[in-house]
Amino acid sequence: MTRNWSEEARRRDEADRLAPFRARFHVPAGTVYMDGNSLGPASVDALESLERAAREWRELAIGGWLDARPDWFTYGERIGAKMAPLVGAEPEEVALVGSTTANLHSLVATFYRPGGTRRKILADELNFPSDLYALASQVRLQGGDPAKDLILAKSADGRTLDEEALISLMDDTVAVAVLPAVLYRSGQLLDLRRLARAAHERGIVIGFDCAHSVGSVAHHLHDDDVDFAFWCTYKHLNGGPGSPAGLFVHRRHFQREPGLAGWFGYVKERQFDLALHFEHAPSASGWQMGSPSILSAAALDGALNLFEEAGILTVRAKSLELTSFLIELAEARLAPLGFEVGTPLEPDRRGGHVALEHAEGWRICRALKARGIVPDFRPRRVIRLAPVALYSTFAEVEHTVSALEDIVRKREYEAFSSERAAVS
Protein backbone atom coordinates (compact mmCIF):
# COMPACT_ATOMS: atom_id res chain seq x y z
CA MET A 1 0.00 0.00 0.00
CA THR A 2 1.29 3.46 -0.89
CA ARG A 3 1.97 5.54 2.17
CA ASN A 4 -0.15 8.68 2.50
CA TRP A 5 2.53 11.16 3.55
CA SER A 6 0.30 14.24 3.51
CA GLU A 7 -2.25 12.55 5.79
CA GLU A 8 0.55 11.50 8.14
CA ALA A 9 1.81 15.08 8.23
CA ARG A 10 -1.69 16.33 9.03
CA ARG A 11 -2.02 13.90 11.96
CA ARG A 12 1.34 14.93 13.35
CA ASP A 13 0.44 18.60 13.14
CA GLU A 14 -2.83 17.98 14.97
CA ALA A 15 -0.92 16.33 17.83
CA ASP A 16 1.80 19.01 17.99
CA ARG A 17 1.98 20.67 21.43
CA LEU A 18 4.11 23.51 20.05
CA ALA A 19 1.69 24.42 17.25
CA PRO A 20 0.34 27.55 19.04
CA PHE A 21 3.81 29.15 18.95
CA ARG A 22 3.66 29.47 15.16
CA ALA A 23 1.16 32.33 15.45
CA ARG A 24 3.78 34.35 17.35
CA PHE A 25 6.15 34.45 14.37
CA HIS A 26 6.07 36.66 11.32
CA VAL A 27 6.88 33.98 8.76
CA PRO A 28 7.18 35.84 5.41
CA ALA A 29 3.84 35.76 3.65
CA GLY A 30 3.40 33.10 1.01
CA THR A 31 6.55 31.21 1.96
CA VAL A 32 7.58 27.95 3.52
CA TYR A 33 10.55 29.04 5.62
CA MET A 34 13.27 26.39 5.88
CA ASP A 35 16.20 28.73 6.54
CA GLY A 36 15.96 29.35 10.27
CA ASN A 37 19.41 27.83 10.70
CA SER A 38 20.75 30.94 8.93
CA LEU A 39 18.35 33.62 10.18
CA GLY A 40 15.31 33.01 12.33
CA PRO A 41 12.19 35.04 11.49
CA ALA A 42 10.92 37.90 13.61
CA SER A 43 8.59 37.02 16.44
CA VAL A 44 5.85 39.13 17.97
CA ASP A 45 7.71 38.92 21.28
CA ALA A 46 11.01 40.12 19.79
CA LEU A 47 9.43 43.11 18.05
CA GLU A 48 7.45 44.12 21.13
CA SER A 49 10.60 44.02 23.22
CA LEU A 50 12.50 46.02 20.59
CA GLU A 51 9.73 48.62 20.44
CA ARG A 52 9.76 48.92 24.22
CA ALA A 53 13.51 49.57 24.24
CA ALA A 54 13.17 52.14 21.44
CA ARG A 55 10.41 53.89 23.41
CA GLU A 56 12.59 53.94 26.53
CA TRP A 57 15.47 55.42 24.52
CA ARG A 58 13.09 58.12 23.24
CA GLU A 59 11.62 58.88 26.68
CA LEU A 60 14.53 58.25 29.05
CA ALA A 61 17.60 58.94 26.90
CA ILE A 62 20.69 58.22 29.04
CA GLY A 63 18.47 57.42 32.00
CA GLY A 64 17.64 54.12 30.37
CA TRP A 65 20.90 52.61 31.55
CA LEU A 66 19.43 52.35 35.04
CA ASP A 67 15.77 53.34 34.78
CA ALA A 68 14.61 51.26 31.81
CA ARG A 69 12.69 48.11 32.69
CA PRO A 70 14.74 46.00 32.41
CA ASP A 71 17.72 48.32 32.85
CA TRP A 72 20.29 48.42 30.07
CA PHE A 73 23.32 48.30 32.36
CA THR A 74 22.91 44.62 33.24
CA TYR A 75 21.61 43.36 29.87
CA GLY A 76 24.71 41.24 29.26
CA GLU A 77 24.35 39.37 32.53
CA ARG A 78 20.56 39.14 32.52
CA ILE A 79 20.21 37.78 28.99
CA GLY A 80 23.15 35.49 29.63
CA ALA A 81 21.26 34.00 32.56
CA LYS A 82 18.21 33.69 30.32
CA MET A 83 20.21 31.65 27.80
CA ALA A 84 21.86 29.47 30.46
CA PRO A 85 19.09 26.81 30.61
CA LEU A 86 19.32 26.36 26.83
CA VAL A 87 22.97 25.34 27.06
CA GLY A 88 22.92 23.54 30.42
CA ALA A 89 24.93 26.17 32.28
CA GLU A 90 24.76 28.03 35.57
CA PRO A 91 23.47 31.62 35.16
CA GLU A 92 26.87 33.15 35.93
CA GLU A 93 28.56 30.99 33.28
CA VAL A 94 26.85 32.69 30.31
CA ALA A 95 26.99 36.26 29.09
CA LEU A 96 25.65 38.16 26.10
CA VAL A 97 28.74 39.52 24.38
CA GLY A 98 29.72 40.99 21.02
CA SER A 99 29.75 38.71 18.00
CA THR A 100 30.54 35.04 17.47
CA THR A 101 33.98 35.49 15.93
CA ALA A 102 34.93 38.26 18.38
CA ASN A 103 34.02 35.90 21.21
CA LEU A 104 36.14 33.15 19.69
CA HIS A 105 39.08 35.54 19.56
CA SER A 106 38.49 36.62 23.16
CA LEU A 107 38.24 33.07 24.48
CA VAL A 108 41.21 31.70 22.56
CA ALA A 109 43.25 34.72 23.64
CA THR A 110 42.38 33.69 27.20
CA PHE A 111 43.02 29.96 27.01
CA TYR A 112 45.71 29.60 24.34
CA ARG A 113 49.02 29.97 26.12
CA PRO A 114 51.52 28.01 24.04
CA GLY A 115 54.59 26.82 25.88
CA GLY A 116 57.01 23.93 25.89
CA THR A 117 55.77 21.18 23.62
CA ARG A 118 52.17 22.43 23.76
CA ARG A 119 51.97 24.98 20.96
CA LYS A 120 49.17 23.67 18.76
CA ILE A 121 45.46 24.31 18.36
CA LEU A 122 43.32 21.38 17.24
CA ALA A 123 40.41 22.20 14.91
CA ASP A 124 38.90 20.47 11.88
CA GLU A 125 38.59 20.94 8.14
CA LEU A 126 34.77 20.94 8.21
CA ASN A 127 34.42 23.83 10.66
CA PHE A 128 32.95 27.15 9.56
CA PRO A 129 35.84 28.98 7.84
CA SER A 130 35.48 32.10 10.02
CA ASP A 131 36.60 30.03 13.01
CA LEU A 132 39.66 28.83 11.13
CA TYR A 133 40.58 32.37 10.09
CA ALA A 134 40.38 33.46 13.73
CA LEU A 135 42.38 30.49 15.01
CA ALA A 136 45.12 31.03 12.45
CA SER A 137 45.39 34.67 13.45
CA GLN A 138 45.62 33.72 17.14
CA VAL A 139 48.48 31.34 16.34
CA ARG A 140 50.29 34.13 14.51
CA LEU A 141 49.74 36.54 17.41
CA GLN A 142 51.55 34.05 19.64
CA GLY A 143 54.48 33.88 17.25
CA GLY A 144 53.50 30.56 15.71
CA ASP A 145 52.98 29.32 12.18
CA PRO A 146 49.41 28.16 11.32
CA ALA A 147 50.83 25.71 8.80
CA LYS A 148 52.47 23.87 11.70
CA ASP A 149 50.54 24.90 14.80
CA LEU A 150 46.93 24.74 13.59
CA ILE A 151 45.97 21.08 13.19
CA LEU A 152 42.90 20.43 11.05
CA ALA A 153 41.37 17.02 11.65
CA LYS A 154 40.38 15.36 8.40
CA SER A 155 36.97 13.97 7.50
CA ALA A 156 36.82 10.49 6.00
CA ASP A 157 33.63 11.19 4.06
CA GLY A 158 33.69 14.97 3.59
CA ARG A 159 30.53 15.27 5.70
CA THR A 160 31.21 14.14 9.24
CA LEU A 161 33.89 13.88 11.90
CA ASP A 162 34.80 10.76 13.85
CA GLU A 163 35.24 11.38 17.58
CA GLU A 164 37.82 8.61 17.89
CA ALA A 165 39.89 10.17 15.11
CA LEU A 166 39.66 13.55 16.83
CA ILE A 167 40.80 12.05 20.13
CA SER A 168 43.74 10.37 18.41
CA LEU A 169 45.05 13.85 17.53
CA MET A 170 44.93 15.04 21.15
CA ASP A 171 48.57 14.56 22.07
CA ASP A 172 51.04 16.49 24.23
CA THR A 173 51.65 19.05 21.48
CA VAL A 174 48.06 20.36 21.66
CA ALA A 175 47.27 23.26 23.99
CA VAL A 176 43.66 24.00 22.98
CA ALA A 177 40.98 22.25 20.92
CA VAL A 178 38.16 24.23 19.24
CA LEU A 179 35.50 22.14 17.54
CA PRO A 180 31.94 22.62 16.25
CA ALA A 181 29.09 21.26 18.35
CA VAL A 182 27.02 20.84 15.17
CA LEU A 183 28.71 20.87 11.77
CA TYR A 184 27.31 23.68 9.66
CA ARG A 185 27.04 21.69 6.43
CA SER A 186 25.96 18.19 7.41
CA GLY A 187 24.24 18.93 10.72
CA GLN A 188 26.25 16.26 12.57
CA LEU A 189 26.15 16.66 16.37
CA LEU A 190 29.40 15.77 18.10
CA ASP A 191 29.62 14.04 21.49
CA LEU A 192 30.75 17.01 23.58
CA ARG A 193 31.04 15.07 26.84
CA ARG A 194 33.25 12.39 25.33
CA LEU A 195 35.52 14.92 23.65
CA ALA A 196 35.80 17.11 26.75
CA ARG A 197 36.70 14.12 28.92
CA ALA A 198 39.33 12.96 26.44
CA ALA A 199 40.83 16.44 26.15
CA HIS A 200 41.10 16.90 29.91
CA GLU A 201 42.66 13.48 30.40
CA ARG A 202 45.41 14.71 28.06
CA GLY A 203 45.83 18.14 29.63
CA ILE A 204 44.05 20.02 26.83
CA VAL A 205 41.57 22.90 27.18
CA ILE A 206 38.55 22.44 24.91
CA GLY A 207 35.89 24.78 23.56
CA PHE A 208 32.98 24.44 21.16
CA ASP A 209 31.32 26.59 18.50
CA CYS A 210 27.62 26.13 19.25
CA ALA A 211 26.31 28.53 16.60
CA HIS A 212 24.41 25.79 14.76
CA SER A 213 23.10 24.04 17.85
CA VAL A 214 21.91 26.54 20.48
CA GLY A 215 18.13 26.75 20.29
CA SER A 216 17.67 23.38 18.62
CA VAL A 217 19.86 21.11 20.79
CA ALA A 218 19.64 20.80 24.58
CA HIS A 219 23.28 21.19 25.61
CA HIS A 220 24.80 20.37 29.02
CA LEU A 221 27.93 22.48 28.88
CA HIS A 222 28.54 22.63 32.64
CA ASP A 223 27.97 18.94 33.35
CA ASP A 224 29.83 17.91 30.19
CA ASP A 225 32.82 19.81 31.65
CA VAL A 226 33.32 22.00 28.58
CA ASP A 227 35.86 24.77 29.24
CA PHE A 228 34.33 27.41 26.99
CA ALA A 229 31.79 27.82 24.20
CA PHE A 230 30.44 30.57 21.96
CA TRP A 231 27.46 31.01 19.63
CA CYS A 232 25.37 33.44 17.64
CA THR A 233 21.75 34.23 18.51
CA TYR A 234 20.24 35.04 15.11
CA LYS A 235 19.75 31.45 13.92
CA HIS A 236 17.60 29.10 16.00
CA LEU A 237 17.23 31.70 18.78
CA ASN A 238 15.57 34.18 16.37
CA GLY A 239 17.29 37.22 17.85
CA GLY A 240 17.37 39.19 14.59
CA PRO A 241 20.01 39.95 11.94
CA GLY A 242 23.37 40.59 13.59
CA SER A 243 21.99 40.09 17.09
CA PRO A 244 24.60 39.90 19.88
CA ALA A 245 26.33 36.61 20.57
CA GLY A 246 26.66 34.42 23.64
CA LEU A 247 29.60 32.86 25.40
CA PHE A 248 30.07 30.26 28.12
CA VAL A 249 32.98 30.01 30.53
CA HIS A 250 32.99 27.15 33.03
CA ARG A 251 33.03 28.54 36.55
CA ARG A 252 36.35 26.87 37.38
CA HIS A 253 37.93 29.43 35.04
CA PHE A 254 36.33 32.54 36.54
CA GLN A 255 39.61 33.67 38.09
CA ARG A 256 41.43 33.61 34.76
CA GLU A 257 42.25 36.99 33.30
CA PRO A 258 40.28 37.56 30.09
CA GLY A 259 42.60 37.63 27.11
CA LEU A 260 40.89 40.72 25.65
CA ALA A 261 39.82 43.09 28.40
CA GLY A 262 37.30 45.89 28.21
CA TRP A 263 35.50 48.12 30.66
CA PHE A 264 32.16 46.29 30.50
CA GLY A 265 33.90 43.23 31.90
CA TYR A 266 34.86 45.12 35.05
CA VAL A 267 33.35 44.19 38.43
CA LYS A 268 29.86 45.59 37.99
CA GLU A 269 29.55 47.40 41.31
CA ARG A 270 32.74 49.39 40.68
CA GLN A 271 32.67 49.79 36.92
CA PHE A 272 32.12 53.54 37.12
CA ASP A 273 35.03 54.02 39.51
CA LEU A 274 36.97 54.12 36.23
CA ALA A 275 40.07 52.71 37.90
CA LEU A 276 43.18 52.31 35.80
CA HIS A 277 43.75 48.72 36.92
CA PHE A 278 41.39 46.18 35.34
CA GLU A 279 39.51 43.93 37.77
CA HIS A 280 37.28 41.56 35.81
CA ALA A 281 33.93 40.35 37.07
CA PRO A 282 34.33 36.81 38.50
CA SER A 283 31.86 35.31 36.04
CA ALA A 284 31.36 34.97 32.30
CA SER A 285 30.39 38.64 32.26
CA GLY A 286 34.05 39.40 32.88
CA TRP A 287 34.59 38.56 29.20
CA GLN A 288 32.44 41.49 28.10
CA MET A 289 34.39 44.27 26.42
CA GLY A 290 32.36 47.20 25.09
CA SER A 291 28.85 48.37 25.88
CA PRO A 292 26.12 45.98 24.70
CA SER A 293 24.01 46.82 21.66
CA ILE A 294 20.80 47.57 23.52
CA LEU A 295 18.29 47.56 20.67
CA SER A 296 19.58 44.26 19.29
CA ALA A 297 19.76 42.80 22.78
CA ALA A 298 16.16 43.84 23.39
CA ALA A 299 14.92 41.92 20.37
CA LEU A 300 16.75 38.80 21.56
CA ASP A 301 15.33 39.31 25.04
CA GLY A 302 11.82 39.03 23.65
CA ALA A 303 12.68 36.09 21.41
CA LEU A 304 14.00 34.13 24.38
CA ASN A 305 10.60 34.38 26.08
CA LEU A 306 9.30 31.73 23.69
CA PHE A 307 12.00 29.28 24.77
CA GLU A 308 11.23 29.93 28.43
CA GLU A 309 7.61 29.01 27.74
CA ALA A 310 8.20 26.06 25.44
CA GLY A 311 11.23 24.53 27.19
CA ILE A 312 14.30 23.42 25.31
CA LEU A 313 13.60 19.71 25.86
CA THR A 314 10.22 20.04 24.15
CA VAL A 315 11.81 22.06 21.35
CA ARG A 316 14.49 19.42 20.88
CA ALA A 317 11.94 16.59 20.81
CA LYS A 318 9.89 18.22 18.06
CA SER A 319 13.00 19.24 16.13
CA LEU A 320 14.06 15.60 15.99
CA GLU A 321 10.57 14.54 14.89
CA LEU A 322 10.64 17.09 12.07
CA THR A 323 14.11 16.15 10.84
CA SER A 324 13.33 12.43 11.13
CA PHE A 325 10.20 12.93 9.04
CA LEU A 326 12.17 14.91 6.48
CA ILE A 327 14.88 12.23 6.24
CA GLU A 328 12.29 9.48 5.92
CA LEU A 329 10.56 11.34 3.11
CA ALA A 330 13.86 12.07 1.37
CA GLU A 331 14.98 8.46 1.43
CA ALA A 332 11.63 7.23 0.14
CA ARG A 333 10.95 9.85 -2.52
CA LEU A 334 14.11 11.79 -3.34
CA ALA A 335 16.86 9.16 -3.29
CA PRO A 336 15.65 7.70 -6.63
CA LEU A 337 16.09 11.19 -8.13
CA GLY A 338 19.76 11.58 -7.25
CA PHE A 339 19.49 13.08 -3.78
CA GLU A 340 21.59 11.88 -0.84
CA VAL A 341 21.03 12.61 2.85
CA GLY A 342 24.32 13.99 4.15
CA THR A 343 23.14 14.20 7.76
CA PRO A 344 23.58 11.37 10.28
CA LEU A 345 20.45 9.24 10.45
CA GLU A 346 20.75 8.57 14.21
CA PRO A 347 18.75 11.22 16.12
CA ASP A 348 21.39 11.69 18.83
CA ARG A 349 24.02 12.50 16.20
CA ARG A 350 22.30 15.38 14.44
CA GLY A 351 21.32 18.95 15.15
CA GLY A 352 18.34 20.87 13.82
CA HIS A 353 18.86 20.85 10.05
CA VAL A 354 19.14 18.29 7.28
CA ALA A 355 21.64 18.35 4.42
CA LEU A 356 20.28 17.10 1.12
CA GLU A 357 22.98 16.66 -1.50
CA HIS A 358 22.46 16.79 -5.25
CA ALA A 359 24.72 17.56 -8.20
CA GLU A 360 22.36 20.41 -9.14
CA GLY A 361 21.98 21.67 -5.58
CA TRP A 362 22.40 25.37 -6.36
CA ARG A 363 19.92 25.50 -9.22
CA ILE A 364 17.45 23.34 -7.28
CA CYS A 365 17.66 25.86 -4.42
CA ARG A 366 16.80 28.64 -6.84
CA ALA A 367 13.86 26.66 -8.17
CA LEU A 368 12.63 26.07 -4.61
CA LYS A 369 12.74 29.80 -3.89
CA ALA A 370 10.78 30.49 -7.06
CA ARG A 371 8.08 28.26 -5.56
CA GLY A 372 8.08 30.22 -2.29
CA ILE A 373 10.15 27.70 -0.31
CA VAL A 374 13.24 29.20 1.36
CA PRO A 375 16.22 26.85 1.86
CA ASP A 376 19.90 27.72 1.75
CA PHE A 377 22.89 26.32 -0.10
CA ARG A 378 26.41 25.37 0.93
CA PRO A 379 29.07 24.47 -1.64
CA ARG A 380 29.46 22.28 -3.45
CA ARG A 381 26.13 20.46 -3.50
CA VAL A 382 24.36 20.86 -0.16
CA ILE A 383 20.76 22.05 0.17
CA ARG A 384 20.22 22.77 3.85
CA LEU A 385 16.67 22.50 5.16
CA ALA A 386 15.81 23.54 8.71
CA PRO A 387 12.28 22.75 9.86
CA VAL A 388 12.21 24.65 13.16
CA ALA A 389 10.19 23.39 16.11
CA LEU A 390 8.57 26.69 17.13
CA TYR A 391 7.09 27.62 13.75
CA SER A 392 7.48 24.85 11.14
CA THR A 393 4.84 22.23 10.44
CA PHE A 394 5.01 18.65 9.28
CA ALA A 395 2.79 19.63 6.35
CA GLU A 396 5.45 22.14 5.27
CA VAL A 397 8.08 19.41 5.38
CA GLU A 398 5.95 17.18 3.16
CA HIS A 399 5.21 20.10 0.83
CA THR A 400 8.95 20.86 0.52
CA VAL A 401 9.78 17.27 -0.41
CA SER A 402 6.93 17.20 -2.93
CA ALA A 403 8.31 20.38 -4.49
CA LEU A 404 11.82 18.93 -4.71
CA GLU A 405 10.41 15.82 -6.32
CA ASP A 406 8.51 17.89 -8.87
CA ILE A 407 11.43 20.23 -9.61
CA VAL A 408 13.77 17.36 -10.46
CA ARG A 409 11.24 15.22 -12.34
CA LYS A 410 10.25 18.19 -14.51
CA ARG A 411 13.84 19.50 -14.65
CA GLU A 412 12.62 22.94 -13.57
CA TYR A 413 16.08 23.78 -12.24
CA GLU A 414 17.38 24.00 -15.82
CA ALA A 415 15.65 27.37 -16.15
CA PHE A 416 18.09 28.86 -13.64
CA SER A 417 21.71 29.95 -14.00
CA SER A 418 24.44 27.97 -12.28
CA GLU A 419 26.14 31.25 -11.32
CA ARG A 420 25.87 31.74 -7.56
CA ALA A 421 24.70 34.93 -5.89
CA ALA A 422 26.90 36.82 -3.41
CA VAL A 423 24.78 35.53 -0.53
CA SER A 424 23.52 31.97 -0.79
Query: Residue 267's CB: how many other CB atoms inside 10 A?
Result: 16
Of 234, 248, 377, 394, the active-site residue reads 234
Torsion of CA 136, 140, 144, 146, to 10 degrees: 20
Of 78, 119, 378, 384, the active-site residue reads 384
Helix (H) or strand (E) holding 248: strand 245-249
Query: Could you confirm whether 410 is annotated as catalytic?
Result: no
Is residue 222 within 8 Å of residue 89, measured between CB atoms? yes
Q: Facing residues of 179 across strands?
A: 208
Query: Could you confirm whether 128 is annotated as catalytic?
Result: yes
Query: Could you confirm whether 377 is annotated as catalytic?
Result: no
Q: Residues 35, 370, 33, CA angle at the centre, nearest 5°?
A: 25
Query: Could you confirm whether 208 is annotated as catalytic?
Result: no
Provide, for the chain, the percentages of residues in helix, strand and coil under a 3-state DSSP scheme, each rounded to the nearest 5. Answer: 45, 15, 40
Of 82, 159, 235, 378, the active-site residue reads 235
Of 128, 254, 278, 416, the active-site residue reads 128
Of 124, 149, 209, 376, the active-site residue reads 209
Cα–Cα distance, 264 to 249 (Å, whole number): 16
Cα–Cα distance, 206 to 198 (Å, whole number): 10
Amino acid 225 reads D
Query: Could you confirm whether 21 is annotated as catalytic?
Result: no
Query: How are beta strands 340-341 and 150-153 bridged, if at all?
Result: unpaired
Active site residues: 128, 209, 234-235, 384
